[in-house]
């Protein structure tokens, strides 16, 4: 605490520890002081743990989120001629939907400011995927973002340092203090960035299942409702969709591998589950943006979404026609018997892709553009003994043993039938 401080951080910690509510002034002072460096990491770590254990009221959460937004700048997208709408996914295995969705919704007439992140652990990052394209750059200035939205209709890039800097510091601290799982803290983290980016409307894709951060439907729904409420209270029209993540989405998990699959979908092909989830999210986005009479599926089939994708990649320095890296080593995991593939564990596939080189254990780790897993069969498929079910792609043969170990118990062939979850589990409206 500095000599001129209005509050004492220890008293703020004790207030939340002892189940009392923090005042708006306490919350704003504590977060502002942390960003300035006037409060130590260990003190804010104690406050975060108190929040994880005791929660935040609706008022506290709104003030906490507002303080995070106000810690930096906001993008001003009011001058755009198109309505703005964005999408956020809580992360999964094989989730390349953003690469398809942004140009698809732009092809339907909206402006999509998709500020994205990098992968950590078993879930892939949108920026890592796009960086497998030669020349593509993730870092743009605010002026470049607005210009690209005006000219192309969509942008996928990194959030600038000026947007919600309190979230950057808090997230790094949560990551090393066991406080990531708090629903209020997750909600404030996601929504502060999305509100600061200036979008008028937002669709949330909250993943549920083995390969998701939220494995329990009830907790996923609680997270979705909390985020929808924050959006509503901040004037951002927000809808959440709960989607299944027991099984990898699509067939590819890995950076360049997912780009190829996304391009297949943009050209009118690709796996049905990726198409279905993408079209469902696009439909919700267009409804929030007030755009009527557009059929997202038709924009995939007629090539207009692919054209916008190519323009988006080129605008950020990438070559949409460039050959992507190919892994020098490919091995398969084969069916041990004939029958029906009844389980393909998304977590096992995600961890295998990560260990092959597609993901990172620490934020500073490098990732491989070519590494990952291809699902040659999906649950419900008939297979024969010895049939390849998974392809493992890597630049480094030393990764194979641990990657294969991650798949032990992840693949199950039985007598059937396969009774999987629907892709779209629930819609939550504000």
Q: Could you tell me the CA-to-CA distances from 190 to 67, 90, 231, 257 in Å, in that order?
A: 13, 9, 10, 27
Catalytic residue among 98, 116, 182, 189: 189
335 contacts 326 by C-beta, under 8 angstroms: no
Examine the residue annotation and report whether 189 is marked as an active-site residue of this protein.
yes
Q: Helix or strand or coil: residue 253? A: strand
Task: List residues bridging with 84 in a β-sheet.
Answer: 111
Angle at the Cα of 124 from the Cα atoms of 171 and 300, rounded to 5 degrees: 120
Rounded Cα gap, residues 81 and 84, in angstroms: 9
Examine the residue annotation and report whether 89 is marked as an active-site residue of this protein.
no
Q: Helix or strand or coil: residue 84? A: strand
E-strand spans in 196-353?
Answer: 201-208, 237-244, 252-253, 329-334, 339-344
| Helices 41-54 and 165-175: angle between axes, nearest 10 degrees | 80
Residue 66: φ, ψ to 5°: -60, -40
Half-sphere exposure of 380 (CA within 13 A, CB side): 6
Catalytic residue among 28, 193, 299, 378: 193
Catalytic residue among 174, 194, 311, 378: 174
Catalytic residue among 95, 167, 205, 345: 167
Catalytic residue among 28, 87, 88, 194: 88
Examine the residue annotation and report whether 193 is marked as an active-site residue of this protein.
yes
Q: Which residues are catalytic?
A: 88, 167, 174, 189, 193
């Amino acid at each position: 605490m500095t000599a001129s401080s209005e509050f004492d951080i220890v008293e703020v910690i004790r207030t939340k520890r002892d189940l009392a509510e923090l005042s708006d002034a306490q919350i704003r002072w504590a977060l502002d002081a942390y960003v300035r460096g006037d409060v130590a990491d260990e003190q804010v770590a104690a406050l975060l743990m108190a929040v994880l254990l005791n929660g935040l009221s609706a008022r506290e959460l709104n003030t906490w989120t507002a303080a995070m937004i106000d810690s930096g700048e906001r993008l001003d997208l009011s001058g755009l001629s198109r309505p703005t709408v964005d999408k956020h996914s809580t992360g999964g295995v094989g989730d390349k939907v953003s690469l398809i969705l942004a140009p698809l919704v732009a092809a339907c007439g909206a402006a999509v400011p998709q500020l994205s992140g990098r992968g950590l652990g078993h879930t892939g990052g949108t920026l890592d995927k796009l960086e497998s394209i030669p020349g593509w750059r993730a870092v743009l200035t605010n002026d470049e973002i607005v210009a690209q939205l005006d000219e192309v209709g969509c942008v996928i890039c990194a959030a600038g340092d000026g947007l919600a800097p309190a979230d950057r510091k808090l997230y790094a601290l949560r990551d090393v203090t066991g406080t990531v799982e708090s629903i209020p803290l997750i909600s404030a983290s996601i929504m502060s960035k999305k509100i600061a980016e200036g979008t008028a409307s937002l669709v949330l894709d909250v993943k549920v299942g083995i390969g998701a951060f939220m494995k329990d439907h009830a907790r996923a729904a609680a997270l979705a409702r909390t985020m929808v409420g924050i959006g509503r209270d901040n004037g951002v029209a927000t809808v959440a969709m709960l989607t299944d993540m027991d099984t990898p989405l699509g067939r590819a998990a890995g950076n360049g591998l997912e780009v190829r699959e996304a391009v297949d979908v943009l050209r009118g092909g690709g796996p049905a589950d990726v198409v279905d989830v993408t079209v469902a999210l696009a439909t919700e986005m267009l409804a929030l943006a007030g755009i009527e009479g557009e059929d997202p599926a038709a924009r995939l089939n007629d090539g207009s979404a692919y054209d916008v994708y190519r323009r988006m990649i080129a605008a950020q320095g990438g070559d949409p026609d460039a050959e992507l890296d190919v892994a020098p080593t490919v091995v398969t995991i084969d069916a041990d018997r004939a029958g029906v593939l009844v389980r393909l564990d998304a977590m096992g596939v995600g961890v295998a892709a990560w260990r092959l080189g597609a993901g990172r254990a620490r934020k500073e780790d490098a990732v491989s553009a070519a590494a990952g897993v291809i699902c040659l069969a999906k649950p419900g498929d008939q297979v024969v003994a010895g049939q390849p079910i998974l392809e493992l792609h890597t630049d480094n043969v030393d990764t194979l043993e641990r990657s294969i170990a991650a798949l032990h118990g992840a693949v199950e062939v039985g007598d059937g039938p396969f009774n999987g979850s629907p892709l779209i589990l629930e819609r939550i409206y504000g």
